[in-house]
Structure 1
Amino acid sequence: MSKKYHIQKTPFIVPTTDGKLIEEHFGRATDGNSQISIAHMIAPSGWSEPFQTPEFDEYTYIIRGKKQFTIEGEKVILHSGQSIKIEKNTRVQYANPFDEECEYIAICLPAFSMEAVHREDE
């Protein structure tokens, strides 16, 4: 009888060049799941990404530190214990301009992919 669950002990570590740690626990890179991606992330102080307009909803839960979101031109800052849902087809930029690293969980529905994130050129 096959198990009805899967414990993820070896998440896929996404290669980055900006000092950000991305551990995908479930998603395209880890288990081929295109329906959802769940990742644990640590963004260093001073980190930011280009603006993007993804084709997926993204949920973020802040574990520690704080993170800045620029959503359709509005700056929003989340602190530990807070969460946010950003709807698909919304222009957003993620950043950590603060003095401490930010640890968080990100969930994308459907799963994150480089083809669906639509990052703007820096």
Structure 2
Amino acid sequence: MTEIAAPTSAGQRLKALRLEHNLSIRELARRSGISHVSISLIERDRHSPSISSLKSVLDALGTTLSAFFSEPLPDEAPVVYRAGELVELADGEALSYRQVGRNLDGSAMMILHERYAPGADTGDSPYHHTGEEGGVVVAGRLELTVDGEARILEKGDAYYFDSRRPHGMRNPFDEVCEVVSVASPPTF
């Protein structure tokens, strides 16, 4: 019997997940609010979506960013994760969300090491989700917008808020910004 290789790119994973749910690209577009052209480009690895766009598509498919990019947990999860073992949830270039742990289904929290290149942001429109999140800026500066109010955080500054409030983050500065954050429950 011939084995079919597991999808390796985000586009291939998305297409496999969509087909697993027996959805056309147009139906997934209708359910997610993301254009069918964008979904087609993502599936062909010709477009790297914003986190908020990918989250909308994955919500329509009943999964999270964490589950989408991770492999299932082994029977006993490790206690220590080396830098190379963190799971990248974003493009890894302009925006990097490196998750501690693998698939977090059933977990109470999510820990991320975030990196925002100069000019990077979390998307054009603010997003919101159930839960709470907090973080500490460990390098550079970050513009955090919650409920339409923008605040500049510098190294050592922290934030904590109810994630149901519309929010977004961006780095309009010339230096890279790094943040260590926690979300509870895991919503990516």
**TM-score interval, smaller chain:** 0.7 to 0.9
Over residues 65-93 of structure 1, what are the superposed CA-to-partner deviations in whole Å (9 max), with x where a residue is unaligned?
Answer: 01001111111111001111021210111
Provide the residue aligned with 1:8 in structure 2. 81
Matched, 1:32 2:104: yes
Q: Percent identity?
A: 19
Matched, 1:59 2:134: yes
Over residues 94-115 of structure 1, what are the superposed CA-to-partner deviations in whole Å (9 max), with x where a residue is unaligned?
Answer: 11111111011110011122xx
Among 156, 160, 165, which residue is 1:85 paired with?
160
Amino acid of the residue matched to residue 89 of structure 2? V
Matched, 1:44 2:44: no
Q: CA deviation at 1:18?
A: 6.1
More helix by share: 2
Provide the residue aligned with 1:117 in structure 2. none
Among 93, 98, 108, which residue is 2:183 paired with?
108
Q: CA deviation at 1:32?
A: 2.6
**Matches of 1:71 and 1:106 in 2, distance apart?**
16
Structure 2: tracts of 5 or more residues without a match: 1-75
TM-score, structure 2 normalization: 0.53
- Aligned partners of 2:142 and 2:169 also within 8 Å: yes
Structure 2 CA distance for partners of 1:15 and 1:47, relative to 1, 3 Å: closer
Q: State how many pairs are aligned.
A: 108
Q: CA deviation at 1:15?
A: 4.0
Structure 2 CA distance for partners of 1:20 and 1:96, relative to 1, 3 Å: same
More strand by share: 1
